[in-house]
A = this chain, B = another copy of it.
Amino acid sequence: MFSETIELRGHIIDSLILPKVLDQILTRGATFKIAEIKIGQKRADQSFARIEVGADTSEALNELVLRLRQHGAEVVEQADARLATAPGDGIFPDNFYVTTNQQTFVRIDGREIEVQPAMMDSAIAVNSAKGIARAVKFFDVKGGDQIVVGHQGIKVSPVQRSTSHTDLFQFINTTVGANEPKAGVIRAIAAELQRARTAGGKIAAVAGKAVALTGAGEYLQRLIELGYIQRFFTGNASAVYDAERALFGTSRGISTDRPLPGAGHENHLRAINVLRALGGIQAAVEKKVLTSGIMHTCIQKGVDIVLTGSIRDDGPIPGVTTGVVEAQKIMREKLTDVSHVLLLGTVQHSLAVASLLSPAVKTICVDIYPAAVAHIVDQQPFHSIGLVTDVEPFLRELCEAIANPAKSEAKRALVR
């Protein structure tokens, strides 16, 4: 029997840290003895636990401790992190430490250095001289970089749940299902975004095709005009659907004004051709060819636009980043100073963006498919809210709640 002693600190009970740690231990067939436990007497107080963990093999114990550290467990004997040299550009040394999206510290020369940015699925590159630790993706690493290996000297500080009960993001399970009321949540999201803007926070919107196709764009434009969106992420197809409506009155050949669907993909291709001929969206706006739509409003209001490509794209239009690695670099850069993200009707872009976010960023995910919402919310369980609903009426109601909170409350009266 091999054993090690770990310690937990913080809101370890109501943030579910202690139960999760014990759950991992039992699930993996290991044993534990709680050597000491001190639980905070009040909401704001910190708790503490020291636990001896035992497993049958040294390997099993190591793997277990690795998991426990991701829940914030520290091994008691403090030691410096071990470093190894990256053998080449884009290649990590064997046994490199893989980050979670939790705040992470690495112990170098007896000092704890915070890894920045907090970003999941990265390695940690250390510059001991400068006392800097960076989370690095494969495309960041250069041969010769010093990379953390093993799990010694790493401390993870898991997100602690807010203890304020006015906070929208405090609940464990924050998906509002198809059969649950959403009006109240949407008003609370409006209030949250208003607080965020007042405090100088930056808000990103990530939009799937449903936004342009369902006619939800007009509400997104209104949010942009009201100053609620600072970054806009979407794909080539969505940008073109938006331009198609501005140029030809349709999106994927379908007009929002006619009662029922028409047909056809030609306008989509013609819109691409127009934008290619003019040199892109910015040029089309400047030349007054593109005079409405989400992209037009973004450019008018100075919103940063990030357009990325996929293998399903026609075109693409100028301005789309067609290399997926280059696209990730741009996305990461444009997300560094964002405080809130709206993920609207897209699994592909939402997961790509969510994987680049620090754990402090709050996300609101809206999709009509329950499986899509569940998949995305899973990435950041403490700071995300999922709504299973149609994205067009969601944006309409959010817009009303922001533009005129009193009228939104009194919407029954409006109807009469």
- Say how far A210's CB is from chain B's closest CB, in angstroms: 5
Q: Mark A247-263, 1 if CB is under 8 A from B, else 0.
A: 00001001111111101
- Say how far A170's CB is from chain B's closest CB, in angstroms: 7
CA distance A223 to B303 in the complex (A): 41
B403 touches A415 (CB 8 A): yes
List the one stretch of A32-40, A73-81, A104-112, A280-288 in contact with chain B: A32-40
B168 touches A260 (CB 8 A): yes
Contact of A393 among B23, B88, B393 (CB under 8 A): B393
Q: Mark A366-408, 1 if CB is under 8 A from B, else 0.
A: 0011110010000000000000111011101101100100000
Within 8 A of B (CB), among A306-324: 308-316, 322-324
Is A26 in the interface zone, CB < 8 Å from B? yes
CA distance A26 to B106 in the complex (A): 33
A31 touches B42 (CB 8 A): yes
Q: Given the known inter-chain contacts A213-B181, A400-B415, please indicate yes or no for A273 contacting B91, CB distance below 8 A.
A: yes
B277 touches A348 (CB 8 A): no
B322 touches A325 (CB 8 A): yes
A316 touches B311 (CB 8 A): no
| Chain B hits for A67, CB < 8 A | 263-264
Is A176 in the interface zone, CB < 8 Å from B? yes
- Say how far A397's CB is from chain B's closest CB, in angstroms: 7
| Chain B hits for A181, CB < 8 A | 213-215, 251, 254-256, 392
Interface size class of A (residues with CB under 8 A): 35 or more
- Say how far A320's CB is from chain B's closest CB, in angstroms: 9
| Chain B hits for A42, CB < 8 A | 31-33
| Chain B hits for A328, CB < 8 A | 311, 313
B396 touches A389 (CB 8 A): no
Sample of 7 further A-B pairs with CB below 8 A, known A88-B277, A178-B369: A98-B265, A173-B261, A180-B213, A180-B214, A183-B256, A222-B416, A310-B311
Which residues of A are at the interface with B, using a C-beta cutoff of 8 A?
A: 13-14, 16, 18-19, 22-23, 26-29, 31-34, 37, 39-43, 67, 87-88, 90-92, 94, 96, 98, 120-121, 137-138, 163, 165, 168, 170-174, 176, 178-185, 187-188, 209-210, 213-215, 218-219, 222, 251, 254-261, 263-266, 268-270, 272-273, 276-277, 308-316, 322-325, 327-328, 331, 348-349, 351-352, 355, 368-371, 374, 388-390, 392-394, 396-397, 399-400, 403, 411-412, 414-416
24 contacts across the A-B interface (CB closer than 8 A): A13-B18, A16-B16, A18-B19, A33-B41, A121-B268, A121-B314, A138-B315, A171-B260, A174-B260, A178-B390, A179-B213, A219-B415, A222-B412, A310-B311, A310-B348, A311-B327, A311-B331, A311-B352, A313-B324, A316-B325, A370-B371, A389-B390, A392-B393, A403-B415
